[in-house]
């Protein structure tokens, strides 16, 4: 198993994982429950540089030349800058009132999405990817790593807490209240 930065060539594989992680949220953004449209807009932004969904911000798990999972991670201080092209596109094509809540902030690197192929879930790949991100961002770069977790996903929350994340509060995204978790060097 190899964990590496994504490349532009990985875009079509990445889109399925990001969609897996945020499908319902994306439907709220585009005001329509249409998987093809959601996938199309997401793929467009994954292929483009300098936005929150770009392959530039993505790490992938690869095994036997097949991508089995992905995670989007970026500096929370750059949220508005990275999100601007996406907001412009969504407002122009789907939802003129689109005004998403700030899901992260300065002072943390934010795991925007993390997903593993459904056939590979429960086999430690998600844990391996999280441990890699913790090692890379928290241990080596001395950064705080943050994420949001839905209350309806207690298994994920349990995993995050087991790996050292701590509950820091609540945040809203797409009208949902989510737990905000962080991990920093002192938590390890």
pLDDT, residue 155, reads: 87
Q: Residue ranges of the domains in the chain?
A: 2-187
Tokens (6 digits) for 12: 């079509």
pLDDT, residue 74, reads: 98
Q: In what order do the strands lie in the sheet with 145-150?
A: 2-5, 58-63, 66-75, 109-116, 145-150, 176-183, 166-173
In CATH terms, 2-187 corresponds, of 1.10.3720.10, 2.60.40.10, 3.40.50.12500, 3.40.630.30, to 3.40.630.30
pLDDT, residue 188, reads: 63
The confidence band for 122, taking pLDDT boundaries of 50, 70 and 90, is: confident
Question: Could you read off the pLDDT of 25-78 as tens digits, one per residue?
Answer: 999 999 999 999 999 999 999 999 999 999 999 999 999 999 999 999 999 999
- For β-strands 66-75 and 2-5, DSSP reports them as unpaired
**Mean pLDDT, the chain, as a whole number?**
95
Task: State whether residue 85 is helix, strand or coil.
Answer: helix
Question: Could you read off the pLDDT of 90-108 as tens digits, one per residue?
Answer: 999 999 999 999 999 999 9
Whether 133 shows a pLDDT value over 70: the answer reads yes
Average pLDDT over residues 75-92: 97
């Amino acid at each position: 198993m190899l964990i590496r930065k994504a490349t532009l060539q990985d875009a079509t594989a990445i889109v399925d994982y990001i969609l897996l992680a945020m499908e319902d949220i994306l439907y709220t953004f585009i005001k329509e429950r249409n998987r093809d449209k959601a996938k199309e807009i997401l793929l467009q932004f994954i292929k483009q540089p300098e936005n929150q969904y770009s392959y530039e911000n993505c790490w992938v798990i690869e095994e036997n030349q097949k991508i089995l999972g992905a995670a989007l991670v970026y500096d929370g201080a750059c949220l508005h800058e990275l999100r601007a092209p996406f907001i412009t596109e969504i407002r122009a094509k789907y939802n003129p009132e689109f005004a998403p809540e700030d899901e992260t902030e300065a002072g943390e690197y934010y795991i925007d999405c993390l997903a593993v192929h459904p056939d590979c879930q429960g086999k430690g790949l998600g844990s391996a990817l999280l441990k890699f991100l913790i090692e890379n961002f928290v241990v080596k770069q001395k950064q705080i790593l943050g994420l949001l977790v839905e209350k309806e996903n207690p298994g994920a929350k349990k995993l995050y807490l087991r790996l050292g994340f701590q509950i820091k509060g609540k945040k809203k995204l797409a009208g949902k209240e989510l737990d905000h978790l962080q991990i920093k060097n002192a938590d390890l």
